[in-house]
Amino acid sequence: TDYGSSLTVSLPAALQPHQPFQIIVRYTTADGPAIWWLDPELTYGNAKPFVFTQGHSVCNRSFFPCFDTPAVKCTYSATVKAPAGIQVLMSATQSTYLEEEGVYQFYMEYPVPAYLVALVAGDLIHADIGPRSRVWAEPCLLPTAISKLSGMVERWLTAAESLYGPYIWGRYDIVFLPPSFPIVAMENPCLTFIISSILESDEFLIIDVIHEVAHSWFGNAVTNATWEEMWLSEGLATYAQRRITTETYGAAFTCLETAFRLDALHRQMKLLGEDNPVSKLQVKLEPGVNPSNLMNLFTYEKGYCFVYYLSQLCGDPRHFDSFLRAYIEKYKFTSVVAQDLLDSFLNYFPELKEQCVESKAGLEFERWLNATGPPLAEPDLSQGSSLTRPVEMLFKLWTTEPLDSVAAASCVDLTKWRTFQTVLFLDRLLDGSPLPHEVIKKLSECYSSQLDSMNAEIRIRWLQIVVRNDYYPDLYKVRRFLENQMSRMYTIPLYEDLCTGTLKSFALEIFYQTQNQLHPNLRKTIQQILSQGLNPLPAIDTTAVTTDTPAMVLEDKVSEATNGAISLRDVNVSA
């Protein structure tokens, strides 16, 4: 199956209990869900091949024999041989390079779950950006990475340490990966993986890196023992991320980002339905289901809301910070279940235990964990009103009939707004689409040229509005955008919208022209989207397709539904 098979080893009968023993497994692996091989054309530099691994959740069993469960942690060492000119990195605390032999040696001295073992190799160079941090990237991207992050990571680490105790992993390095990286970011210890595409979106870059910094405590040091409780890592990391951003950027910015994410959560709730079991924090993992399919905005945002609720029970978030420091100290390098967290919480605050807060009507801890639907309580975001109120006012101007206030709306200069304000505004317009033709026409006249110069997070949302409203005058911008994008997060949402409406033939035409610049995995996903509703066609050898051959490469077998589309469309999910 896609999930491999078990390897059973019979131990000698003479082996005494607790007696150390060694098992050597000789194996080869060339391809698999964890291992992504890229030809030079799929990199930014187009010069050298590239490979990276992505183990979350249960992919690393295709990389090396392991106990592929977050309940088991171990140290590891690795020896990697690579051609000259190829830099190899791993999520390890120690590394050496024997240049004469072309051999790298790595050692992770702290126990980690299998999914956090990661490797990347390619045309990578580095620069120090802090006393314990460096950034790795392809040569053409390194100056941008330095300019965006120099001095910043140390600031975020210091803030996190002031809240949750010492950073235990030694170094915090970042490597920027080609756009084929299938998610936004991954918290591999000592070496965070981030997709290069996010470099142009400053505020998203800040949030994504800080989220991965938070995982150094919540997820990496203390890990959910079962994939059915991923919120223990993601909900706590999201809470910690927002505590760090509050300390470094202020409460208003944190509330704005939170409002944007909670908007996306309610959008996903509307799409999935309030009774959908995946909206539970404790999701039942059925046999044969990939745990990654259970990762959604509930894991992050409903988990965050529960953690935020716990912090409010303490009266002062600093008291909750103190509890979390003690929680990390008690459980670091181990894996826990929700009851461990909640028991520790009540033991740390005996006065709350005496008040039976875990059984408060309507807000019972058990209900938080096992009820479907939205969070039982959401945070007070009034401290962000200076940033969210202008968004709400502008949205109201554009959606209240008659459009007498377009003149006032057109005076708003979106270039002066924060990115999260603009994406919040555009997301709300997306929710209201299709809009009256006169509205979309006026929107384009007012903002299209402004949005053209903004980052991809903003542009993709405007282009989705264009597609969902069949606004043909701006369709050429959709084509231009897709011709220059190779990442999943900036292609899938547009292809889905194009194929949902009347523009599937337009989508097919763009795909003919761009498919060879896409990673095979992404190409396959887009083929699945394009093939829905069409008669199955035989697969065509892509090497035989030229620009003069109007042939569409479609697979006659869709291996699985593209049910990850909702999360991709509604929010950039970091691991």
Q: Which domains does the chain have, with CATH numbers?
A: 33-214 (3.30.2010.30), 222-285+292-379 (1.10.390.10), 383-529 (1.25.40.320)
Residue with tokens 């600093």: 318
The predicted structure's pLDDT at residue 342: 98
Q: Which of 76, 104, 115, 300 does the annotation list as catalytic?
A: 300
Chain-centroid distance of CA 97 in Å reads: 31
- Output the CA torsion sign for 109, 110, 113, 115: negative
Other Cβ atoms closer than 10 A to 327: 22
pLDDT digit string, tens, across residues 335-374: 999 999 999 999 999 999 999 999 999 999 999 999 999 9
CA dist list (Å): 231 to 155, 218, 256, 335, 520: 26, 10, 22, 13, 31
Cβ burial, residue 101 (10 Å; 0-12/13-18/19+): exposed
Residue 21 one-letter amino acid: F
pLDDT digit string, tens, across residues 347-356: 999 999 999 9
Low-confidence ranges of the chain (pLDDT < 70): 1-2, 404-407, 533-575
Whether residue 519 is annotated as binding a ligand: the answer is no
Whether residue 257 is annotated as binding a ligand: the answer is no
Closest CA to 563 of 296, 375, 286: 296
Asked if 153 and 129 touch (Cβ cutoff 8 Å), the reply is yes
pTM above 0.75, yes or no: yes
Cβ burial, residue 54 (10 Å; 0-12/13-18/19+): buried
The predicted structure's pLDDT at residue 538: 35
Q: Maximum distance among all alpha carbons in the chain?
A: 88
Whether residue 234 is annotated as binding a ligand: the answer is yes
SS3 186: strand
The predicted structure's pLDDT at residue 501: 80
Asked about 212 being catalytic, the answer comes back as: yes
Q: Which residues contact 551 (CB under 8 A, 6 or more apart)?
A: 512, 540, 545
Other Cβ atoms closer than 10 A to 324: 26
The predicted structure's pLDDT at residue 205: 98
Asked about 490 being catalytic, the answer comes back as: no
CA distance 246 to 440: 36
The predicted structure's pLDDT at residue 37: 95
Q: Which of 212, 229, 457, 496 does the annotation list as catalytic?
A: 212
The predicted structure's pLDDT at residue 534: 55
The predicted structure's pLDDT at residue 26: 94
The predicted structure's pLDDT at residue 128: 98
**Structure letter (DSSP) for residue 28:** -
CA distance 51 to 29: 13
Cβ burial, residue 147 (10 Å; 0-12/13-18/19+): exposed
